[in-house]
Structure 1
Amino acid sequence: MTSSPHTQTTRTGARPTTARDWIPDQPGAWMMALSPALAGMIVGGPNLTTLWLLVAWTLCYCVQFTASRWLTSRFARRYLPPAATYAAALVVVGLPFLIMHPTVLWWAPLYAVLAALSFAAAWLRRERTLWGNAVAVVAACSMAMVVASFGSRAASAAHPALVNGGPPAAVTFLLVQFGSVLFVKTMIRERGKRAYLLASWGWHAALLAVAAVLWAVLGFGRPFVMPLILCVWLLARAVALPLIARRRRLKPIVAGVVEIVSSLLAFAAVVMTF
């Protein structure tokens, strides 16, 4: 009896490429990856160069997502077309930017290390570990400084990489997003593990304490009101939702929606403060 094409496909393990293989399917991940770069564009002074860089970074994210799946699957054919297409698009968009703005190479060593670590995590299938998540967080949050360094306000800065709110924006996003990593683990992969729960609570309590001190030291001024409100929200959700999840099972989408709200609040805090 002759096997059907469907049976042959199942036996060989070669599945066709689908739309889900092309587009990262987690809105929360999109927010975490792109919001620091968008904030950097705003605090550094938006212009066509920063918009161009934002497009290039979006393609970088798509390359990382698809190439990581290709590596994790040990080079499954279905993941190669998206990875190759996004890589080609990145060359088309990024190479002219590099030629016109060679100073972007100042950031090359950092991102070369981060890319190597990210793809190593994918190959080892360790992307969901704390160190794998930390690599993604550092890469995304550093883009606040990278994009700001090409903003319209960079010309008046002593060093473009330190323009205006670029560094504090990057640090703020980094602290918030790593806290998000801890929180999500308490809700999904590490649900019920006390060590992660205490780490998440301790991290967010420390963030709130720092925000409160800065607000007090600066004379209870308006600039740090939004970071303070943000940190209150972050600690509240880090404490409340895992406790609720002990009594009733919450779907992963709940944590995802909450983190979209957290990312929006972090974005607003950065833009309004720096």
Structure 2
Amino acid sequence: MALTPALAGMIIDGTNPTTIWLFAAWVLCYCVQFTAARWFKSRFAHRYAPPVAVYTVLLAAVGLPFVIIHPTTLWWAPLYAILATLSFVAAWLRRERTLWGNAVAILASCTMAIVVSSFGTHAANAQYPMLANGGLPAATVFFLTQFGSVLFVKTMIRERGKRGYLWASWIWHGALLAAAFGLWGLLGFGRLFSMPAIVCLWLLARAIAMPPIARRRSIKPIAVGLVEMMSSLSVFAAVLLTF
């Protein structure tokens, strides 16, 4: 889920060596954040320091030359500095699984669809590449569906049985389905069921059907994870086919 937005951004507006390079740098950014967050959460336990150091060196080796050649990337530095700080604060407070902690991580990963696509082959010829590509709508779809995934997973595991989370998940996914039908109509397509609408229908169905089942019988977290992996891949396919 953390990498699919950037991967979609790389594909949507034309893959080239620059987008592949940036995608590789983002993978290393994710590795640095993942290991550093655990380092902060453990109050700087020694066992987490080596992977943080290794990934940081690799990121510097891959990322610094990219920034030197493409200095416009630094326009995104303030946003990601804020998101990284919030991420590490959440890890230090051991609150990375809260809604705001999840939202920070999702926003960071989904925004990469815009960043990567702005260097795509098709966007490179536009006057305003940040806006003249499919990265922005793709990032929006990824953010909305991934935050919905957070709500759904909480109804299955950490917040199972809590009506507030259950209703929040149902309302969120219902709104996504309504938006998918509305967007398809605004785009001028006549077919009732678009790929985004079908995917959103599936997301709503699993959000409604699975929590009651989990209350009657135990569903292992790995099963929930497999369902969300399938859901994430479905959203990824819908984004590529739509934008």
Normalised by the shorter chain, which TM-score bucket? Answer: over 0.9
Q: Is the 8 A contact 1:224 1:273 kept in 2?
A: no
| Structure 2 Cα separation of the partners of residues 224 and 135 of structure 1 | 32
Per-residue deviation at 1:244? 0.9
1:231 and 2:200 equivalent?
yes
- The aligned counterpart of 1:64 is 33
1:208 is matched with which residue: 162, 177, 200? 177
Q: Is the 8 A contact 1:223 1:272 kept in 2?
A: no
Q: Is the 8 A contact 1:185 1:196 kept in 2?
A: yes
Please tell me the root mean square deviation across aligned C-alpha atoms, in Å: 1.3
1:261 is matched with which residue: 216, 230, 240? 230
Per-residue deviation at 1:223? 11
| Structure 2 Cα separation of the partners of residues 218 and 111 of structure 1 | 32
- The aligned counterpart of 2:84 is 115
Partner SS state of residue 62, structure 1: helix
| Structure 1 Cα separation of the partners of residues 238 and 54 of structure 2 | 36
1:53 and 2:22 equivalent?
yes
Q: Which amino acid aligns with 2:213?
A: I
- The aligned counterpart of 1:23 is none
- The aligned counterpart of 1:11 is none
1:243 and 2:212 equivalent?
yes
Alignment of 1:20-39 (within 5 A): 32-39=1-8
| Structure 2 Cα separation of the partners of residues 205 and 52 of structure 1 | 38
| Structure 1 Cα separation of the partners of residues 131 and 232 of structure 2 | 23
Per-residue deviation at 1:237? 0.6
1:159 and 2:128 equivalent?
yes
Per-residue deviation at 1:241? 0.7
Cα deviations across residues 205-254 of structure 1 (Å, max 9, x unaligned)?
Answer: 00001111222343444697111011001000111110111111100011
State the identity %.
70
Partner SS state of residue 190, structure 1: coil
Range that drifts further, 250-259 or 224-233: 224-233
| Structure 2 Cα separation of the partners of residues 55 and 214 of structure 1 | 32
When residues 165 and 224 of structure 1 are mapped into structure 2, their CA distance, relative to the original with a 3 A threshold, is farther
| Structure 1 Cα separation of the partners of residues 170 and 191 of structure 2 | 26
TM superposition score normalised by structure 1: 0.86
Q: Which has the larger radius of gyration?
A: 1
Q: Which amino acid aligns with 1:36?
A: P
Alignment of 1:57-206 (within 5 A): 57-206=26-175
- The aligned counterpart of 1:10 is none
Q: Is the 8 A contact 1:214 1:224 kept in 2?
A: no
Per-residue deviation at 1:87? 0.6
Aligned length: 243
Range that drifts further, 210-219 or 230-239: 210-219
Cα deviations across residues 51-99 of structure 1 (Å, max 9, x unaligned)?
Answer: 0011100001100110000000000000000011001100000000011
Q: Provide structure 2 residue ranges, at least 5 long, that are not aligned to the other structure.
A: none
Q: Is the 8 A contact 1:37 1:54 kept in 2?
A: yes
